[in-house]
Structure 1
Amino acid sequence: MKNNRFGSILFLVIILFFSSLPSGFAETVTVDSPTLNVRSGPGLTYPVVGQLLDKESLQILETEGDWLKIQFEQSEGWVAKWLTSSTDASEQPKEIVSQVDSLNIRSSPSVQSAVVGKMRAGTVATATGQEGDWISITYDGRDGWVFAEYVSEMKKTSFKQSDSEETVEQTTVAKEVTDPDKFTVAVETLNVRKKATQQSNKVTQIAKGESFTVIATDGNWVQIQLDKKKTGWVYSFHGHLSSKQPTSDTAVAEDQGIVTILTDGTNLRDQPSTSSPVVFRVNAGENYPIVSKQDDWYEISLPNGKQAFVAEWVVTTNDFSNTDSNESTETARVKGTLKGLTIVVDPGHGGHDRGTTGARGSIEKDLTLVTAELLATKLQNAGAEVILTRNSDTYVLLGARASIAQYHNADAFVSIHYDAHVDPSIAGFTSYYTRSEQQPLAEAINKGLASNISLRDRGAQFGDFHVLRENYRIGVLVELGYLSNYNEERQITTDRFREQATYGIYQGLLDYFN
């Protein structure tokens, strides 16, 4: 009886011990940045309560979006998930995909260093390390550095249904065709490598239109027969796989090409419209055969036999057709209106990036969105084609925002923000430019604002902003007052102010183009 009682007590002690451990006990990550800020809450606007160093091991207590709650010293804190790496991750090098065209590869992690090469949107490189906001890569046999905002890590998994946790196993072009027989090159020149990795030695180069017998597939890589004795591996993104076997009713015509996803969490929709329901979400680097093209949307084929639509401004394509469907016809410019112009309006922040929080509790990401939507309406009424970089509370990478402007050959790019300062007495609006050719637009918009709103005019100033620096279109970043100033926040969060401010920006654009 005594032994049974002792055994029961021991059993209860064991249960209490394990139940007292924090949830996610076995789940740990390591810091993947030279320094990592620990914040009091899950967002960039929460105060920094400490710092961690590279390679430190962290135990996850809780997750909220892209933020991890961790044990920190004698308390708890939050860190950005994207600056950590899983301790269970494979030691094999990661592959990253460029989200923008003409991404500069630099000799060292600095914008002042020499450009040693460029990456096209959708091309893949091997990541070899990271230093702050820069990633060291090996690309086409050379080493260099790229800015982390403009690339995404390629995932091994495929798309997820938006309304369930069901994950479909890896989807690649190699898997879209059952037992592929032929690989046809779709780019001007394509490197053939000894092994299925970007770090492997280059065997030779092959040219557009050449076809080769497929020996095997390995994820996104295809092994081809070069001649009677020689074989090599090529990346499946840059060609088309075909089979002699009969195809199903959902088979894709061979001349339609493929799309490559540029951003993690890209929405696939039921119909070609941003208002259509999201049926899947997919990650950067994944690629899908094109079924058809409808205006600014691609209908694509999924591995489960279904079709979905993806917006053309969030993908890059290998289009094998000879059609001129991608050639746009320019609308004649009409003086006194904005007809014939394409303007990209960028509501700053979004998703996990709240922006600044005002003295009275206003959240910048919410204000920028409603302001941008009001501005878009005015510009559309004046005849402009307007593209919003986001139309909901979602996070869009800085590189993707610039890429949207470049993809649409925008005549102007306007990024909307609200400011903050540690000194609560600072007030006023500012129009920023980064490159000299952007200055006239910044001055015109600043003049339009000054004639319509009563805030202090801080003028058109130089500012080193990613969305302007890496944007080849004419752009401006507007800070519409300080949320950190209690009285100014009360004024700039009203409908009346937004109406006046957006009219001022519209007037500035009109004056600039006239």
Structure 2
Amino acid sequence: MAKLINYSYKFLIISVLVLSTIFTTGMTGKAATTTQYKTTADLNVRTGASTSYKVVFTLKKNTVVTKTGTKGTWFKIKSGSKTGYASSKYLAAVKKPATTTTTASTTVPSKTTYFYVTEPTGLTLRSGAGVTYKSLGLSIPFEAKLKILKEHKNKWIQVKYANKTGWINANSLYGFKSTTSFSTASTVNKSTTYLVLNDNYLNVRKLPNVAAPSIGKAVKGYTAKILRTSKNNWVEVQFSATEKGWISANTTNTTIVNKIDQVGNNTKGTLVGLKFVVDAGHGNSDSGAGGYDLKGNKVYEKTLNLKAAQAIKFAIENLGGTVLMTRNTDTFLTLPQRAAYAKNNGGNAFISVHHNSAGSSAAQGYETYYSDKTNSKEFAESIHNNVIDAIQEEYPEINDRKLKATDFYVIRYNSVFATLLELGFVSNPTELSRLNSTKFRTAVADGVVNGLLEYYGR
């Protein structure tokens, strides 16, 4: 009997110890666990687990916090040095990177490699390879050159900047890698000068070196104002409405002048050396506006646009200029295709031809549009003033509806000076009959070339 009691006692002691170990381990593991959560909305944090408790601080949406405990449907959280309770329905779990991820997924470049920042707003330096890691309070600026210390498989890289070592996103949207070391130092041009491409084509690059990615090509006749000049004699130009680029001036293919009328020899009174994109709006299934003339004939805007664009083309070419038409027939192009035409083909300026329409058949007159985003006001103003003069010389009754700023897609997202002409109203039978005549289109074309001659100082 004594042995049975002794065995029972030993079994009881062992069972208690095992259960205690399991319970303690489970509790310790739970207590030691901290989970990252992200707020799904602006969130009030309170002194207790209920809306009846006082708000101690507020978190912005997408703030990452640490959960340290649970009370019902409320979490006890920590944000920086502050703690409090927040409703769990406004907190989403953030997958925490494995502790071995950074070391197991990183490599050191076999050759010295640099990363050049091309993101205009700079890049945030973080403590780890991802956006969930905290910021080190430092933004690496545009055009910075950084030696890559380590590369993560998710395309983040470890670098050192201003005595701080951290990680940045090395996606090609924000910069590029190169084993070539070069300086990005440059100076802003104090006087106005222009780059002219005399022959062939040159790549336009993100930074002043052949190691930098190309953002497009400038072709023969391309002319642009120089914004900056680098130490290695590359020049920066406004290549598109949203993007600047660099072109090498270390070649006989380029000339730098202080007046655009120096583009070619004996160019006074001509448009020699200049290339223009003339865009006939609408086309094919996109007829644009339509109206009936005085004879009752239905006329579509797409047809008028093409005829007027062809008249402008002839007038420009007659003065030695080069013209690229976005369309020569009844075809359809998207707005992005039209807007990119000058960039893709090296044009100096872009002129889009349209005709207007209104609910009232009495509306009539000519107006011109430009976008402030492409610095085209002076260019469009020169075209407008000369076109209205030429039209009113033939038709004194024509209404001048003035120059207007707007952001039509084809002029807002263009790489060069751009303007859009609304030549008249197809909804007005009298005006439509006038618009659909050789005499009117000739007056418009004369006005356009006079405006170009004036603007380019020819």
Band the TM-score falls in, shorter-chain normalisation = 0.3 to 0.5
Superposition TM-score, scaled by structure 2 size: 0.45
Per residue, is there more helix in 1 or in 2?
Answer: 2
Superposition TM-score, scaled by structure 1 size: 0.41
Larger radius of gyration: 2
